Amino acid sequence: MLRRSFAVLPLMALALAAQALDRTKPPETPPIPGYKLPPAFETKLPNGLTIVLLEDARFPLVTASLSFQAGSRFDPDGAPGLAEAAAALLTEGTRTRTSRQISEETDAMGGSLGGSAGADGLALGGNALSENLARLLALMADCAMNANFPADEVSLYQRNRVQNLLSQRSDPSFLAEEKFSELVYGSSPYAHIAPTQASIAKFTPSALASYRDARLVPNNATLLLIGKLPARDELLKTIAAQFGSWKQAPLPAEPKMDTPAPKRQIVLVDRPGSVQADIRVGRLAPTRVSPEFFPLIVGSNVLGGGTNSRMFKDIREKEGFAYDAHSGYNTHRVSSDFGAVTEVRNEVLEPALNAVFAELEGMAGAPVPAAELANVQNYMAGMYLLRLETQEGVAAQLNNMKTLGLPNDYLETYVQKVRSVTPDQIQAVARKYMAPADAAVVVVGDASKIGDALKKFGDVTVVKAN
């Protein structure tokens, strides 16, 4: 009987604790620690190739990335999308391997290999079991140095890319983003977010090879390896054996980045038959190396960074104008842009656009309350740490650092800098970058249905959807 009484005591204690718990209030989030990057070793080969090694012995896996300052910003005049094409075709054939052989070798080592390109960078990345690292490096070196862009593979890529482009151009959100980028970035390379059918036709094997020879050179590259690595001396010898013969070359001049001064302009992209209006409101914004970056990225999350943000709760939850309402801060190396985004039914365009303007003006008009700011900072810190849980996540962030020219302590100081942002700092950048007075306004929709409502906000330029 005594034993039974003692067994009941813990259950009674748990019941009392449950009764004392106030379920009307969310639990407090404990302090989220900063990120500690694994020890990194950095060196260079004589040909200028930067090498970054990070040991992560949790799994017998290595993630590798060979990145270049060679994204769409460097596309030649009249050939937008060339960097994207070059990245996609790097693994489709070399002087000694066919596309099929490359694929079979990748599968045989239990890994992956592929190319991708963004606005500022192009990367050849993959992974493999640690025991197959030497084979992965040999394959990466061959693709980077010897890709020969076979005519049949290029032709297949062109046909597929045209079909993909037609699909993109049927999407009103793509058309809105395209026109918004053109207005914000003007004649600068960041204005182009996709190729054209005319430019795709120019992606010949010789054009791709010329781009590779100009931009994909060792003195413009960083080789990053993260995972369970061999002894450093042994690994450096392997890297030198595979990449040491790669010849460096002088880099072409940086493209001009003349961006127009922000100004209020309203453009309606006429898409007959649309039953909704896709809206973008925004302007140029600072890059990540600016002291204004962290106040603006935190402010953007307050405004439209998730289901607890102001835009989501007002425009979607309260008013029911849209399924989605958010803000975006697209950062590049040389320039960036900030914008508010939503898609609404035609009949509510006027009140919905007024609601977007009101939220933007509200950010500029008053400091963010302390409790709201703390919740957003906790959310940002937690999501940031989750992104760094995997090798691929760390590799992506380190590549971002190199591509965007960020300081070496960026990853380790991110959480602290997010937490140090104050309400006054957010209000200051909101007045400068969020207040809609100098913002470009892009709406994609049926001009016959929404044109009159949009004219109530000012002079409207109507263009046809291509």
Mean pLDDT of 131-155: 97
CATH code for the domain in which residue 123 is found: 3.30.830.10
Domain co-membership, 308 together with 208: no
Both tokens of 174, joined, read 């793509």
Both tokens of 365, joined, read 């008009």
Sheet holding 112-117, edge to edge: 40-44, 50-55, 221-227, 61-68, 122-129, 112-117
User: Maximum Cα–Cα distance for the chain, whole Å?
Assistant: 90
Domain co-membership, 189 together with 334: no
Q: How confident is the model at residue 22 (pLDDT cuts 50, 70, 90)?
A: confident
Look at residue 5 in the predicted model and tell me its pLDDT. 46
Task: Encode 210-234: b = buried (16+ Cβ within 10 Å), e = exposed.
Answer: ebbebbbbbbbbbbbbbbbbbeeee
Q: Which domain holds residue 361?
A: 265-464
6 belongs to a structural domain: no
Look at residue 365 in the predicted model and tell me its pLDDT. 96
Q: At 387, give phi and psi (nearest 5°).
A: -65, -20
Domain co-membership, 362 together with 307: yes
Look at residue 23 in the predicted model and tell me its pLDDT. 73
CA dihedral 118, 123, 124, 127 (to 10 degrees): -100
Q: How confident is the model at residue 34 (pLDDT cuts 50, 70, 90)?
A: confident
Look at residue 35 in the predicted model and tell me its pLDDT. 83
Both tokens of 392, joined, read 């691929």
Q: How confident is the model at residue 119 (pLDDT cuts 50, 70, 90)?
A: very high
Contact (CB, 8 A) for 328 and 180:
no
What span, in angstroms and rounded, lies between the C-alpha atoms of 293 and 296? 5
Mean pLDDT of 126-154: 96
Sheet holding 265-270, edge to edge: 322-331, 336-345, 276-285, 440-445, 265-270, 460-464
77 belongs to a structural domain: yes
The per-residue pLDDT for range 437-459, each reduced to its tens digit, is 999 999 999 999 999 999 999 99
User: Three-state SS for 196?
Assistant: coil
Number of domains in the chain: 2
The per-residue pLDDT for range 217-232, each reduced to its tens digit, is 999 999 999 999 999 9
The proportion of the chain whose per-residue pLDDT surpasses 90, expressed as a percent, equals 88
- Output the average pLDDT for the chain: 93
The per-residue pLDDT for range 320-349, each reduced to its tens digit, is 999 999 999 999 999 999 999 999 999 999
4 belongs to a structural domain: no
Q: How confident is the model at residue 110 (pLDDT cuts 50, 70, 90)?
A: confident
Look at residue 2 in the predicted model and tell me its pLDDT. 41
61 belongs to a structural domain: yes
Mean pLDDT of 344-371: 97
Look at residue 1 in the predicted model and tell me its pLDDT. 44
Cα–chain center distance at 127: 21
Look at residue 255 in the predicted model and tell me its pLDDT. 92
The proportion of the chain whose per-residue pLDDT surpasses 70, expressed as a percent, equals 94
Whole-Å CA distances, 154 to 82, 151, 200 = 12, 5, 10
Domain co-membership, 231 together with 299: no
Kindly tell me if the per-residue pLDDT of 383 is higher than 70: yes
The per-residue pLDDT for range 196-217, each reduced to its tens digit, is 999 999 999 999 999 999 999 9
Mean pLDDT of 391-419: 94
Q: How confident is the model at residue 278 (pLDDT cuts 50, 70, 90)?
A: very high
Signed CA dihedral, 178, 184, 188, 190: sign only = negative
Residue type, 461: T
Kindly tell me if the per-residue pLDDT of 300 is higher than 90: yes
305 belongs to a structural domain: yes
| Exposure on the CB side of residue 416, measured as CA atoms within 13 A | 8
Residues recorded for the chain? 466
411 belongs to a structural domain: yes
Look at residue 419 in the predicted model and tell me its pLDDT. 96
Q: How confident is the model at residue 29 (pLDDT cuts 50, 70, 90)?
A: low
Look at residue 17 in the predicted model and tell me its pLDDT. 52
The per-residue pLDDT for range 232-269, each reduced to its tens digit, is 999 999 999 999 999 999 999 999 888 999 999 999 99
Domain co-membership, 116 together with 74: yes
Domain co-membership, 238 together with 275: no
Look at residue 12 in the predicted model and tell me its pLDDT. 53
Domain co-membership, 183 together with 284: no
Kindly tell me if the per-residue pLDDT of 4 is higher than 50: no
Q: How confident is the model at residue 3 (pLDDT cuts 50, 70, 90)?
A: very low
Domain co-membership, 306 together with 207: no
Mean pLDDT of 42-66: 95
Angle at 264 (CA atoms; ends 258, 269), nearest 5 degrees: 90
Domain co-membership, 314 together with 416: yes
Q: How confident is the model at residue 421 (pLDDT cuts 50, 70, 90)?
A: very high
Axis-axis angle for helices 423-433, 293-304 (nearest 10): 80
191 belongs to a structural domain: yes
Kindly tell me if the per-residue pLDDT of 9 is higher than 70: no
Domain co-membership, 239 together with 271: no
Domain co-membership, 321 together with 379: yes
Q: Which of 211, 243, 275 is the last residue of a domain?
A: 243
pTM confidence score: 0.90
Domain co-membership, 236 together with 299: no
Residue type, 286: P
430 belongs to a structural domain: yes
